């Protein structure tokens, strides 16, 4: 079945245009499933039964996997078997009508505006790397880009004169996001004063580079963020996605419409964006309780 898995991953890459990170996730989930089938002496897709898939999900849960993880594995398996039917490798889909467990969505942690200000003030902008960090944080908070999108930006992807950035999101879908004056100021300052010092004259079109002048990794960005979060005295658990969540929440709190936020975040389905409405309703309750004389 390994050959079928490779065919499936090629299909996702070339036909569906999925990102490398998504392909890796599919590959990991399905490789674990195929290894489990091998232990049960199941060697062809046609031999897989509905009970085998359910047994695998139970196995994951017995090993301590979270419900969200088991649901993701099941989603990968269902996609895999739909592909096998589509390609004519099997006629009966054993994953048909298998329902994923309902997962309660955890509301994302967001920073207050005051915490955002403290984080932005943390980098020492006198140094090339400090100026780069300030520019990255400002741009991420100003646009709601995912960290992978931010680190994939090239110099030509940002137009500071017109005030927008072009990025490729999930499924390699392009979107244009406005960039505010403050973020534009810091990115322009970084490009004029720091970037050339970091790349040391090498030909590199990546916008944000590490201290060695190479493309920064997500792990590298996370370490930098953690350092500045601690320096800013922020006690919340902050991840690169926290700036994205804060961007969306602050926009909605200040009157932005949900469709516009959906477009800027690059969500294919508005239901994904609607999680932020829970946060803003919570904010309204807090304001009411603090402000209304009969709250």
Count of CB atoms within 10 A of residue 25's CB? 15
- Please state the φ and ψ torsions of residue 206, each to the nearest 5 degrees: -65, 135
Q: Name which of 82-86, 107-111, 185-189 the model is least confident about.
A: 107-111
Give the helix/strand (H/E) hosting 174: strand 174-178
Lowest model confidence (mean pLDDT) among 114-118, 124-128, 259-263, 266-270: 266-270
Mind listing the domains of the chain with CATH numbers?
2-86 (1.10.150.130), 113-291 (1.10.443.10)
How many other C-beta atoms lie within 10 A of the C-beta of residue 65? 15
pLDDT (tens digit, 9 = 90+) per residue, 5-35?
Answer: 999 999 999 888 888 889 999 999 999 999 9
Is 177 in a helix, a strand, or coil? strand
The residues annotated with a catalytic role in the active site are 146, 170, 241, 244, 267, 276
- The answer to whether residue 103 scores a pLDDT higher than 60 is no
Provide the whole-model pTM.
Answer: 0.63
Alpha carbon distance 53, 51 (integer Å): 5
**Residue 295: band (very low, low, confident or very high) from pLDDT cuts 50, 70, 90:** low
Residue 108, pLDDT above cutoff 80: no
Strand order across the beta sheet in which 158-159 lies = 158-159, 164-168, 174-178
Task: Give the Cα separation of 175 and 208 in Å (integer).
Answer: 19
Average pLDDT (98-126) is: 83
Which range, of 36-45, 58-67, 158-167, averages the lowest pLDDT?
58-67
Give the pLDDT band (50/70/90) at residue 285. low
Distance CA 288, CA 295 (A): 7
**Residue 98, both tokens:** 């298998």
Q: What is the rounded distance in angstroms from the CA atom of residue 247 to the CA atom of residue 253? A: 10
Q: Is the pLDDT of residue 250 over 60?
A: yes
Q: Is the pLDDT of residue 102 over 60?
A: no
Does pLDDT of 77 surpass 90? yes
Distance CA 136, CA 123 (A): 11
Question: Has residue 153 got a pLDDT over 60?
Answer: yes
Which of 163-172, 181-190, 250-259 has the highest mean predicted lDDT (pLDDT)?
Answer: 181-190
């Amino acid at each position: 079945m390994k050959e079928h898995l490779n065919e499936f991953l090629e299909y996702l890459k070339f036909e569906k245009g999925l990102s490398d990170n998504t392909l890796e996730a599919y590959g990991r989930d399905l490789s674990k499933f195929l290894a489990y089938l091998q232990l049960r002496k199941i060697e062809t897709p046609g031999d897989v039964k509905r009970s085998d898939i359910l047994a695998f999900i139970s196995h994951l849960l017995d090993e301590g996997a979270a419900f969200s993880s088991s649901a993701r594995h099941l989603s990968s398996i269902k996609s895999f078997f739909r592909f096998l039917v589509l390609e004519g490798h099997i006629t009966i889909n054993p994953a048909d009508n298998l329902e994923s467990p309902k997962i309660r969505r955890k509301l994302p942690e967001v920073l207050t505006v005051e915490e955002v200000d403290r984080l932005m003030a943390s980098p020492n902008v006198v140094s090339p790397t400090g100026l780069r960090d300030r520019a990255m944080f400002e741009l991420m908070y100003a646009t709601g880009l995912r960290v992978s999108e931010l680190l994939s930006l090239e110099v030509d992807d940002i137009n500071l004169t017109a005030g927008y950035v072009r990025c490729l999101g999930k499924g390699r879908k392009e979107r244009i996001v406005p960039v505010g004056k403050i973020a534009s100021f810091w990115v322009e300052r970084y490009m004029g004063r720091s970037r050339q010092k970091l790349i040391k004259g090498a030909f590199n079109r990546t916008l944000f580079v590490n201290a060695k002048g190479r493309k920064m990794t997500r792990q590298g960005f996370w370490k930098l963020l953690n350092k500045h979060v601690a320096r800013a005295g922020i006690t919340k658990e902050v991840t690169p996605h926290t700036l994205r969540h804060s961007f969306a929440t602050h926009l909605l709190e200040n009157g932005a419409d949900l469709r516009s936020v959906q477009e800027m975040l690059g969500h294919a389905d508005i239901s994904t964006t609607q999680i932020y409405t829970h946060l803003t309703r919570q904010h309204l309750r807090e304001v009411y309780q603090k402000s209304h004389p009969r709250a």
